[in-house]
Amino acid sequence: MGDKRHQLKPKQKQGREAETRTASVSAKTQETRLEGRSFLYVGGRDCQVAHLRQIASSHGAELIHHDGGLREAVSRIDNILPSVDCVFCPIDCISHDACLRVKTGCKKWGKAFVPLRNGSKSSLERAFLDLKASRSNAS
């Protein structure tokens, strides 16, 4: 019986160490989340906006969408820019006018401009992961 007790103690210790590591990883994940930050997504496909917002939400961020001038006035971008932290533009689904307005507005307001290769959900997900990685490296 004494032998069995000695065998259990290392297993219990391993369990506690695993719990500590898990808590540490979840705390680190919490630090690199984009909590409370808001992002503007200009252009893209209307049918994906709900999915894009869900991706942003999973990272703790808010996503504001502007269609890039299809139905909304391009001038509205100027009103939104001061209130966001960063702007995403899928370069395959945005008008030249809207893209130019976003780039000049980002320079004016000192906002980050992130061109996305395309309007896919994976491009936005990759951009959020890159932002989180750069934010954790800066810490």
Instruction: Dump pLDDT digits (tens) for 48-79.
Output: 999 999 999 999 999 999 998 888 888 899 99
Helix (H) or strand (E) holding 41: strand 38-42
The pair phi, psi for residue 131, each rounded to 5°, is: -65, -45
CB atoms within 10 A of CB 54: 11
| Confidence at 134, pLDDT banded by 50, 70, 90 | confident
The more confidently predicted of residues 36 and 106 is 106
Q: Is there a contact between 44 and 115 (Cβ–Cβ < 8 Å)?
A: no
Residue in 33, 30, 24 with CA at minimum distance from that of residue 132: 33
